[in-house]
A and B are shown apart, each in its own frame.
Chain A
Amino acid sequence: MPLQEVLDELARGKSARNVTCWRTLAGRPARLAPFPSWLHPSLNAAMERRGITSLYSHQAQALEAIARGENAVVVTPTASGKTLCYNLPIVDHVLRDGSDRALYLFPTKALSQDQLAELKDLCGSELNLKTYTYDGDTPRSARTAIRSAGHIIVTNPDMLHTGILPHHTKWLRLFQRLRYVVIDEIHQYRGVFGSHLANLVRRLKRVAAFYGARPQFILCSATIANPAELASRLIEEPVTLIDESGAPTGEKYFILYNPPVVDRELGIRRSSLLEAADLATRFLRAGVPMLVFARSRLATEVLVTYLKRAAAGILPGVGEAAVRGYRGGYLPHERREIERGLREGKIQAAVSTSALELGVDIGQLDAVVMAGYPGSIASAWQQAGRAGRRTGSSVAVLIADSSPLNQYLVNHPDYFFGRSPEHGLINPDNPQILAGHVKCAAFELPFQRGESLGAAPVDPILEQLAAAALVHRGPERWHWMAETYPAEEISLRSASAENFVIIDVTQPTARAIGEVDRFSAPLLLHEEAIYLHESDQYQVEKLDYPEKKAYVRAVSVDYYTDASSAVSIKVLARFQDDPSRRPGRSSGEVLVTSLPTMFKKIRFGTHENLGSGPIRLPEEQMHTTAYWLYLSEEAYSGLRPEELEAGLLGVANLLVHIAPLYLLCDVRDIRSVVEVRSPFTRLPTVYVYERYPGGVGFADKLYELHDELLAGCRELSAACPCADGCPSCVGPASEVGPGAKRATLSILRAGSKDRLRQLTGEPRS
């Protein structure tokens, strides 16, 4: 078979030495269970019509838990029939009581569309069940009917936030009889987005309670370390975990692939994009249907270009049409068409950003190529899960890029294939996020004195809102009194509500081309900065700082700009401290002050410095939470001051790149600062702080994971083949300083020796 040919070549050909790990995941037969006896006869019939005669074991477990009235969270792989876990009990319930209602939340509109198709298919025309999607694309004329007549409303968090909850009186029929709420893809709801979602659920429950409804929650997640914990934090209720899939799988190969080193001294490897293009071309030639995942929109377009060119040569007659791009910016009907093409086999390869990683139905494919680690193990498994058939073998290949995180993973396959250690973390009580949702909730229903929003007391926040004349304090209740519409001002997905808008003034009619969050703006949008957007270059002509607008003009230059800022950190409160560890660990609240200082112009290719200039912008301050580690005197006594600094920078680089593995966050969500002598600890200190004001819980988790993190840093830098630091470990020597790698290892090893002594009880020398 064609897939086997490509695999044989990969195993034996000259690229075999780049394969760092080749795992065979054994296929598994189905574990089946009968339909529960209570299932409505018409549903039984509908299932039979679709050729389904029994359930998988996890589906049966979910149905039982839901029938017992428990909240449930279902964690099973792609294509394991997850949706039946909630569709069956809910449709069953609605068939018995047609006045009851259910609300489905999916993170994207595309998924809502899929879900609707699935429900329609399940219910057929003979079951009198009304299911609708309600989102920005729903025609106004249809909305009234949907509000009053829909049994199942399928929507997304943003629409619930701005379109449904603020207008709940129009949704009387839904809320009065709201029996079930389904939240799918909850692994998406972590960090800032998850903290918003938890508050959205608080508002939803509050409005439902006003109408006398107390819905049961059914949640679904891809594999993460703490699905039950995340689920119960999102809904603030206990949940029953169902995580043993009974679905059959065919045999699957999972290959980790590291592009060859082309410059050992600088630690530069061949581009992961080029390697991905080569490998995908082999699959294309063998006629293997596949998906290629890239990390960014730009990378997607580049790969599409390569593969179309390759297809034109390989597949005469079909040619370029067999390869398609698929990303967020595409129009809905284009996406539908591509999904259909993949299902029907008219398209052989699609190149996608993570948009397709979610549960969109594209049928079953034989191969997945990931150009770069997608940022979390959960995403990697989800993307890999796109390849896989119930019978027959499939393959997923992860091609590493040269970042420390990617390098760590391809060189630690046991870590990668072990139980996913990523935690979905949220902090619903983050002051900024909570305050935003208190505004929205006050708009939706007046607050009684002493009332709380979920578990959070809100009177102090309402006092502040009253002082700002946004709410009115009556004798018993707080009432929204501002003219503004609070939900419109709060975006659930962006980290900061105050983004800078980038306006292109090249053409006579100016247009907004992008946004940058407030804390990155000074470094990316200072005057004379080169701003890259979809690989086009723009120069910033004017930064209107108070109005949060940057005016840019298209240019064509051979350099980019790199700005630096002086970041200082001040510990305001220490929450946890543990000096017994080596290095010691702490977490707490900090004030981060960032003052942009200067920028350099750097030539593409050669990286030569073409000049520099000052940046004159005010400093930015942010209150947030941080984790920090500090060295004991013995740990650094053997290092010269410049070595110590290089070592601290090395540790900081490693930490910031490895931590996302454990946190299920993006590399951009955390930052580091080092201090050779911290005014607070009076010792050499590395801080890792959260980039969202107030923090979303990463700092506390890092504190907990301290030992594991340092062990990971140690292994990564020790295993890296570079001479003295490279972008794949502690950072290039030119940035962190000479001797960085040795110094870093010395700091990290001191820790491990002390740790060992602690464990074995051996006295310190």
Chain B
Amino acid sequence: MTIASRPAAGVLEEVRLSIHHRHGSRHLSDALGSPAGPLGALAGLPDLGGRHLSDLLFLDTETTGLGMGAGTLVFLVGVGRFEAGSFVVRHFFLEEPDREGDFLDAVLDHIGRAPGLVTFNGRRFDLPQLETRLILNRRGPCLPGISNLDLLPVARRVWKLRLESRSLSSLEGHVLGFVREDDVPGWLVPSFYREYLLTGNRGRLKPVFHHNLRDILSLVTLACHLGAWADEAAAGRPPAGAHPLEMVGLAHACEAAGWGPQSTACYGEAIARGLDAPHQHRTRERLGRVYRRLGQHDAAATVWQQAIAAGSPSPVPYVELARHYERVRGDLTQALAVVNAAIDRLDLSSLQRSALSRRAARLCRRMGMSGRQPAY
């Protein structure tokens, strides 16, 4: 690792790392061969096809307040980029708030031509905050044109069941194999900049620059990790290393991105690898519904039957299966039998019970067992 001071206009510090640098359980070079398209698609960015993760810029900002608003300054923008055998992190620093315009010009100049940015919560925090600064300095709004691959929404879905917290530091510890030592907690960062403004002593900010550098390196390895899973999931191959609960999360993410078939593969694999009963029941409900939406009615029916056979305490599989018999197969008798089974077997709330009874009554009428018209 080499550190250069003031290597370019607006850049206070440039940190150059070998691509073989190891961060947690990965090497930075993992990004070189990773396609960006599938992860982009999973995050709602369709235009990254044909790119590699190493073509993108990795961005993280530090601000003077944890909230948002026009009075919160962005005082540090760290941008990491792969350049000819190295990974270079440049730190743009706001030395004097009066010269914010120059600072922002330098940042814009650097990120403006990139095919895309990778951030963690950039959609909700870093980019709106930068945009606010640009508008205040009469240079914006101009960021909506930049593709932003925000890893947070994807990470939230993937690790929703597996991890209690989906913060970057939690992901580092549980997923990326990286443990931070002597790090500045995020909530303390603003006070470092205040102290700098009061004393003019830049040396005190060293821990903040280091904090930002580690955030950016974690962004790279997190993108590689998710990128690899997205790539396999896109090809219909549920990733081998994923825990069943991570697999369910990945399936959610696929479902949210509109990847129906890929999500069924992941849901199915998660069930096959073994889930505890409550998760198993909930996962089958989601899987069955995806099949139904995809028009794969027989596959859906099979899932509902499996759910019932596995002793699901919820009326959902029964109702869905009854619907299947009624609407797809036209088999009203079978549909009624399923509804009655639910009424007999399950421990129901009064609301659920009356809904099922109404359904049963309606089936009876349709079968001609009563001459009355349906109530609706």
> Which A residues fall within an 8 A CB radius of B?
166-170, 172, 442-446, 469, 472, 474-477, 479-486
Contacts and interface: CB of A to CB of B under 8 A. Distances in A.
B136 interface: yes
A483 B186 CA distance: 13
Interface of B: 64-71, 73, 96-98, 128, 131-132, 135-136, 140-141, 190-191, 193-194, 197-198
A614 B96 CA distance: 56
Nearest to A469: B198
Given A172-B141, A445-B136, A475-B98, A166 B70 contact: yes
A167 B194 contact: no
Contacts of A477: 97-98
A475 B100 CA distance: 12
27 contacts: A166-B70, A167-B69, A169-B135, A170-B128, A170-B132, A172-B135, A442-B71, A443-B70, A443-B71, A444-B70, A445-B70, A446-B97, A446-B98, A472-B97, A472-B197, A474-B98, A476-B98, A477-B98, A479-B73, A481-B73, A481-B193, A481-B194, A482-B65, A483-B65, A483-B191, A484-B65, A485-B71
Name, among A169, A444, A480, the residue most crowded by chain B CB atoms within 10 Å (CB to CB). A169
A169 B136 CA distance: 7
Contacts of B135: 169, 172
A168 B70 contact: yes
Given A172-B135, A445-B70, A483 B98 contact: no
A162 to B, nearest CB: 10
Contacts of A480: 71
A469 B196 CA distance: 12
A485 to B, nearest CB: 5
Contacts of A442: 71
Given A169-B135, A169-B136, A474-B98, A481 B68 contact: no
B317 to A, nearest CB: 31
A761 to B, nearest CB: 64
A227 B197 CA distance: 47
Contacts of A476: 98
A442 B64 CA distance: 14
A444 B141 CA distance: 17
A444 B136 CA distance: 9
A482 B194 contact: yes
A170 B73 CA distance: 15
B142 to A, nearest CB: 12
Nearest to B131: A169
Contacts of B96: 474-475
Nearest to B63: A483
Nearest to A488: B67
A169 B132 contact: yes
Nearest to B190: A483
A167 B68 contact: yes
Given A167-B68, A169-B135, A483-B66, 20 more contacts: A168-B70, A169-B70, A169-B131, A169-B132, A172-B135, A442-B71, A443-B70, A444-B70, A446-B98, A469-B194, A477-B97, A480-B71, A481-B73, A481-B97, A481-B193, A482-B194, A484-B65, A485-B65, A485-B67, A486-B71
A474 B197 CA distance: 10
Contacts of B98: 446, 474-477, 479
B200 to A, nearest CB: 11
Contacts of A167: 68-70
B259 to A, nearest CB: 24
Contacts of A172: 135, 141
B97 A166 contact: no
Nearest to A477: B98
Contacts of B71: 166, 442-444, 480, 485-486
A483 B64 contact: yes
A210 B193 CA distance: 27
Contact of B97 (A445, A474, A483, A484): A474
A443 B197 CA distance: 16
Contacts of A479: 73, 97-98
Nearest to A165: B70
B44 to A, nearest CB: 16
Nearest to A446: B97
Nearest to B97: A479
A169 B64 CA distance: 17
B361 to A, nearest CB: 34
A701 to B, nearest CB: 36
Nearest to A475: B98
Nearest to B141: A172
A469 B141 CA distance: 31
Nearest to A207: B70
A166 B69 contact: yes
Contacts of B191: 483
A486 B70 CA distance: 11
B74 to A, nearest CB: 12
A469 B197 CA distance: 9
A485 B69 contact: yes
A169 B134 CA distance: 9
B300 to A, nearest CB: 31
Contacts of B197: 472, 481
Contacts of B128: 170
Contacts of B64: 481, 483
Which A-B residue pairs are the 9 nearest by beta carbons?
Answer: A443-B71, A474-B98, A480-B71, A479-B97, A169-B132, A169-B135, A166-B69, A483-B190, A472-B197
A555 to B, nearest CB: 41
A92 B331 CA distance: 61
Name, among B66, B98, B131, the residue most crowded by chain A CB atoms within 10 Å (CB to CB). B98
Contacts of B69: 166-167, 443, 485
A733 B198 CA distance: 62
A458 to B, nearest CB: 15
Contacts of A484: 65
Nearest to B96: A474
Nearest to B135: A169
Contacts of A469: 194, 198
A477 B69 CA distance: 19
B39 to A, nearest CB: 25
Nearest to B138: A210
Contacts of A482: 65, 194
A167 B135 CA distance: 12
A167 B67 CA distance: 11
A195 to B, nearest CB: 23
Name, among B70, B131, B190, the residue most crowded by chain A CB atoms within 10 Å (CB to CB). B70
Contacts of B131: 169
A444 B69 CA distance: 8
A167 B70 CA distance: 6
A552 B68 CA distance: 37
Nearest to B99: A474
Nearest to A441: B71
A480 B97 CA distance: 10
Contacts of B136: 169, 445
Nearest to B133: A169
Nearest to A474: B98
A481 B66 CA distance: 12
A481 B140 CA distance: 22
A236 to B, nearest CB: 22
A293 to B, nearest CB: 40
Nearest to B195: A469
Contacts of A486: 71
Contacts of B190: 483
A236 B135 CA distance: 27
Name, among A469, A479, A486, the residue most crowded by chain B CB atoms within 10 Å (CB to CB). A479
A172 to B, nearest CB: 6
A470 to B, nearest CB: 10
Contacts of A166: 69-71
A170 B132 CA distance: 8
A184 B204 CA distance: 52
B106 to A, nearest CB: 18
Contacts of B193: 481
A649 to B, nearest CB: 50
Nearest to B68: A167
